[in-house]
């Protein structure tokens, strides 16, 4: 089993953190800007309206990355509250923040990777007994952790292997915790970063599309209505793709055995 020194382990963490720190955009504010959230019906749009009001005035790439770092760690913070509203704001050329949609996705993905790496290394260094003890502690309960949730993530990882760090990014609860069993099992760091980045990037692109469609429809409540359904659809599509390749492999193997 490959061992990581503290210096080696900190390199990816420092690299991603440096990207986020350098992400503060140089925004040239226009003489007159439009607060796109002012026309949003708060009663109709729920939490999205409140988020948009704050995002339009304060959001930047560093904040996107920081919030996605929280979302990807063991701290409960849904990505649906970050990427779609940020993209909704970024889609408006008159927005105060001056953000670009593709940069929101990029730094959101970098933040997700950073949070996952924090979970990975903490789990690897602390070990299973301490991780489970923390999940059952008062602080762990306050963070909505539990022994059952960590166990569920570990079982999912053991059943699906390394690729679970990719597929798990689309499953609620598993998304935040899948990096813990990866760290406990000392999964190859390069593979972990690759799968986590691909999974986070794909999920963030989907959330960005949701935010963009909500902006085009001038209806922020679209984000709240369809974010959960999108997760289910993506998991179903991934399951169909995996099933296709498994069936094709079995058919080829059967033909080969006959010949």
pLDDT at 28: 36
Q: How many distinct helices (H) and strands (E) make up the chain?
A: 14, 0
Residues 29-79 pLDDT 10s:
333 334 444 444 444 445 666 677 777 777 788 889 998 998 888 776 778
pTM: 0.70
Summarize pLDDT for 111-130 with one digit per residue, the tens. Answer: 999 999 999 999 889 888 88
Task: Write down the pLDDT at residue 31.
Answer: 33
Q: What gap in Å lies between CA 139 and CA 90, rounded to an integer?
A: 36
Give the model's pLDDT for residue 34. 40
CA separation for the pair 154, 178 (Å, rounded): 7
- Return the number of other C-beta atoms located less than 10 Å from residue 134's C-beta: 16
Quick one: DSSP state of residue 218? T
For residue 52, give every residue at least 6 positions away whose Cβ sits within 8 Å of its Cβ, in sequence order, or none. 36, 37, 40, 45, 85, 88, 89, 220
Residue 107 contacts residue 64 (beta carbons within 8 Å): yes
Q: Please state, rounded to an integer, the average pLDDT across all residues of the chain.
A: 76
The vertex-247 CA angle with 243 and 250, nearest 5°, equals: 140
pLDDT attached to residue 234: 65
Kindly give the confidence (pLDDT) of every residue in the chain, 259 residues in length, as a single tens digit, with 9 standing for 90 and above.
455 555 555 566 565 555 555 554 433 333 333 444 444 444 444 566 667 777 777 778 888 999 899 888 877 677 888 898 889 888 887 776 678 899 999 999 999 999 999 999 998 898 888 888 888 888 777 777 788 888 888 887 877 777 888 887 877 777 778 888 888 888 889 999 999 999 999 889 988 988 888 888 767 666 666 666 666 666 676 667 667 767 877 787 787 777 6
Give the DSSP letter string of 13-66. Answer: HHHHHHHHHTT-------SS---GGGG--HHHHTHHHHHHHHHHHH--HHHHHH
């Amino acid at each position: 089993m490959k061992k990581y020194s503290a210096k080696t382990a900190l390199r990816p963490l420092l690299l991603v953190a440096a990207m986020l720190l350098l992400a503060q955009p140089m925004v040239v504010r226009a003489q007159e800007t439009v607060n796109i959230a002012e026309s949003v019906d708060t009663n109709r749009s729920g939490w999205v309206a409140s988020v948009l009001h704050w995002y339009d005035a304060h959001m930047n790439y560093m904040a996107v990355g920081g919030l996605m770092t929280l979302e990807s760690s063991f701290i409960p913070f849904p990505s649906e509250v970050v990427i779609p509203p940020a993209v909704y704001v970024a889609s408006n050329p008159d927005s105060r923040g001056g953000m670009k949609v593709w940069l929101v996705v990029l730094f959101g993905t970098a933040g997700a990777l950073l949070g996952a790496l924090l979970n990975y290394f903490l789990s690897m260094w602390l070990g299973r007994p301490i991780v489970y003890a923390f999940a059952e502690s008062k602080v762990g309960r306050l963070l909505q952790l539990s022994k059952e949730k960590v166990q569920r993530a570990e079982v999912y990882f053991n059943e699906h292997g390394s690729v679970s760090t990719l597929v798990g990014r689309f499953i609620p609860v598993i998304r935040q915790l899948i990096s813990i069993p990866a760290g406990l099992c000392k999964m190859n760091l390069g593979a972990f970063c690759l799968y986590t980045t691909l999974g986070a990037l794909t999920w963030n692109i989907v959330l960005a599309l949701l935010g963009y469609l909500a902006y085009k429809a001038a209806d922020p409540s679209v984000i709240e209505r369809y974010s959960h359904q999108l997760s289910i659809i993506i998991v179903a599509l991934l399951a169909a793709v995996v099933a296709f390749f498994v069936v094709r492999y079995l058919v080829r193997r059967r033909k080969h055995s006959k010949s």
